[in-house]
Chains A and B, each alone.
Chain A
Amino acid sequence: MIGPSIYSAGRMAVITVCLALFTVSAIKQALTHHSLYEAFFKPDRKGDNYSPMQLKEIALRPVLPDSGVELAGYYSDLYEVGYSKWGNFFRARYVALPLILTRFHPSQPLVLVEMSSADGVKEFCLKWGYKVSREGAPGVALLEKAP
């Protein structure tokens, strides 16, 4: 009966290896993301050199209204700046992103914005020629093109 028991042991070994590889695969991902997380929240990142105004400028860059290329402009710029330290790219992008909700083109009749304060909304209106159509929470407003 040695043959069958060796056969059975071999199968158990293969099952164990498979289960081990399932685990190793998940642990490897956890370690990779731990490094990414640490790199992202390190204090000495190039992206921190952006002033809030610069980030806002990036977010307000006009983009084409056709689908597919929207936001690609500032996406590329941030990508170039932040590529060497990818964490900066994400950080910069997500600081900038909440400022504007709809795709934006200066000719757009309506635009929904979500700024950090009501001053941000005023600034946006002045820069792009909009007026507030409806206000939500402070900093959130539906804007319509000023005549």
Chain B
Amino acid sequence: MPQASILVGIVTPALFGFFLTSILLRPERGVVSFLVRLSLGWGVGVGCFSILLFFLMISPINPRFLPWIEVAAAGCLVAAYFLSIRGRGGYDEDFSAPSRRQGWIALMAGVVFIIVMAAAAYVFAAKVAITPEGEWDAWMTWNLRAKAFYYFQDNWDKPINYIYGWTHLDYPLLLPLSVTRLWMLSQSASHSIEPIIIAFLFTFSLPLMVFSFICSLRGAALGLAAGGALLSAETVYLLGGWLYADLPLTFYITASVGLAAMATEKPERAGRTWALAGLCAGLAAWTKNEGMLFLVVIIGAVGAVTLARSGWRQAARRLGMIGVGIAAPTITLIAFKLAIPSQNFLIRSNSLERILDSLTDPERYASIVIGVTYEIFHYGGFVVAGNHFSAPVLALIFLAAWGPRKGSMRLEAIQISLVCLAAMLAGYSTVYLLSPLDINFQILTTVSRLLTHVWPLFLLCVMLAASRDQENESTAPVPAEESAKNRDP
């Protein structure tokens, strides 16, 4: 029964992730809190299980025991959750009653969210019906590697040995191993439904997660608008339909920064939330090499912002908790990188002379600035009367009309998100600058994907900067006052 095996292969990590996030997040009662855990749970669970499979493959334990080990792990976690909630007080979701204006906007945004989700699901379905194997990177790299791991599960060094002609050996393994484990459970790698299911769940967990984060922090109207705005950039669900690893990476980056925002805005019992943010950052690094940049960025952003606002003790405490979360994926990544005999092609094909040439070439700087700026102003959105209103521009117009919160730039959550956004863009630009490949080709083929990685971070900043309710603005707490109580216990 391959269908039953696939179902088990999806439900087990989703349960594992749901209960892990439930243990680590602030105990809160309500639908939105449930949605946060649900949307995070799938990604967290599947990421953790890919790590488990990696260590099973390199250990003497037969990988055929995988389903039993997974079920035992999920069962232990469910038991741990029910033990952990005994005697633990919970919090009610702190929603103030929405104003009439917010109620109307929530209604409109709700309709918009449903329509864009349906449209995105249709595009995804049409895309995978036409190209069930995904686009170039999916069948050349990610799923090809997954097949290699499936066929050589008892001889794990073959899929990472260059003599067999695999492409991009150094790419991390979260996605390939997640596909492999579903193929192992269904005992066949001859159909492409498994990668499609994984891509679908990542693609549509992302808007649900953005909605639930914003809804939890700023209310339903802004949450629904954020979900709608996210999917107004078609690259999000197209990358999902192409079965690329960029969408899982975007998922983990968004989860990590969103959790950091929650930890700063809901500081009660936030220590474990920082650990979960760290785990998601680690899983980002275990998904794509760009995730390693993000790992450095989130550590730097949380460290710098906390140090500037609350001193080194608080910064050390937060970074310590992030470090706890990061540990498992990072150790796995290091083990993998040490095991493979290959360097990234951007490093392998480069030289000091070439780097110096690139650094002193003004045309290269101009190409990067023009290429990235052009893409930002043509990213998603819609053309009205010959003018392209890109999705980021529409989101800013939305913020201006809604009304920004007074002193929003002083909010710690926004500062961390903005530093992450700026640092990721700076990091990507630096890679463009130093890359040995033709700069125009590289910008043309990658810039929209790279912008997609940080597009939800931009939306988080925009929606967190919106006033809670324009009509009650005078009664809203002043961020500077909030910062005084934003101390992790």
Contacts and interface: CB of A to CB of B under 8 A. Distances in A.
Contact of B234 (A8, A15, A20, A26): A26
Contacts of A126: none
A102 interface: yes
A78 to B, nearest CB: 13
B165 A21 contact: no
Contact of B403 (A11, A108, A109, A114): A11
Contacts, number: 146
Given A29-B234, A33-B127, A97-B133, A18 B398 contact: yes
Contacts of B394: 18, 21-22
A34 B381 CA distance: 19
Contacts of B345: 67-68
B382 A24 contact: yes
Main SS of chain A's interface residues?
helix
Given A11-B403, A137-B188, A30 B105 contact: no
Given A90-B130, A142-B151, A22 B232 contact: yes
Interface string A1-40: 0000000100110111011111111111110011011001
A111 B118 CA distance: 42
Contacts of B109: 19
A137 B190 contact: yes
A29 B236 CA distance: 12
B40 to A, nearest CB: 24
Interface string A81-107: 000000100100010011001111100
A87 B398 CA distance: 38
B101 interface: yes
Nearest to A141: B151
A29 B164 contact: no
Contact of A87 (B130, B229, B400): B130
Contacts of B4: none
Interface residues of B, number: 58
A65 B147 CA distance: 19
Contacts of A55: none
A111 B231 CA distance: 41
A133 B216 CA distance: 57
A37 B112 CA distance: 24
Interface string B387-427: 00101001101101111000000000000000000000000
Interface residues of A, number: 50
B228 A22 contact: yes
A26 B148 contact: no
Given A18-B394, A33-B122, A37-B126, A102 B115 contact: no
Contacts of B140: 70-71
B168 A67 contact: yes
Interface of B: 101, 104-105, 108-109, 112, 115-116, 118-120, 122-123, 126-127, 129-133, 139-140, 144, 147-148, 151, 163-168, 188-190, 225, 228-229, 231-232, 234, 237, 345, 380-382, 384, 389, 391, 394-395, 397-398, 400-403, 470
Given A110-B163, A110-B164, 14 more contacts: A14-B397, A18-B225, A18-B397, A20-B112, A23-B116, A25-B234, A26-B119, A33-B126, A34-B122, A94-B133, A97-B139, A104-B165, A105-B165, A108-B165
